[in-house]
């Protein structure tokens, strides 16, 4: 049961981060297409910042799971958030 809940939390965290990235790119993209915003962010060197801003929705998912006392799902969201942070750090380091 615990592994299943952690996996569900990871899935929710990944989806929340993806939605957050899409919302961030849409809001900050000044009306440009999502793919154009991502390409421009990669060329200009702030793609890692967009990904980090997208992770803000993980905070909401995390606190919802904590409030419902679904600690293992919250743990999954936290794991994805840490993974995103490490990925962003490595991406910024090598780009």
* Contact yes or no for 72/12 (Cβ under 8 A): no
What are 82-85's contacts with CB under 8 Å, separation 24+?
Answer: 84/17, 84/51, 84/52, 84/55, 84/58, 85/52, 85/55
pLDDT above 90 covers what percent of the chain? 52
Per the model's pLDDT, the better-predicted residue between 95 and 6 turns out to be 6
pTM of the model: 0.86
Round to whole Å and give the CA distance between 29 and 83. Answer: 25
Round to whole Å and give the CA distance between 62 and 84. Answer: 15
Residue 1: the pLDDT is: 66
Residue 15: the pLDDT is: 96
Q: What is the mean pLDDT of the chain?
A: 90
User: What confidence tens digit (pLDDT) does each residue in 37-61 have?
Assistant: 888 888 888 888 888 888 899 999 9
């Amino acid at each position: 049961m615990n592994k299943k809940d952690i996996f569900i939390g990871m899935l929710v965290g990944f989806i929340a981060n993806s939605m957050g990235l899409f919302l961030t790119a849409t809001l900050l993209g000044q009306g440009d297409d999502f793919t154009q915003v991502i390409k421009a962010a990669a060329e200009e060197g702030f793609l890692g910042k967009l990904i980090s801003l997208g992770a803000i929705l993980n905070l909401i998912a995390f606190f919802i799971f904590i409030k419902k006392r679904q600690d293992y799902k919250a743990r999954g969201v936290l794991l994805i958030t840490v993974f995103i942070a490490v990925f962003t750090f490595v991406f910024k380091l090598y780009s």
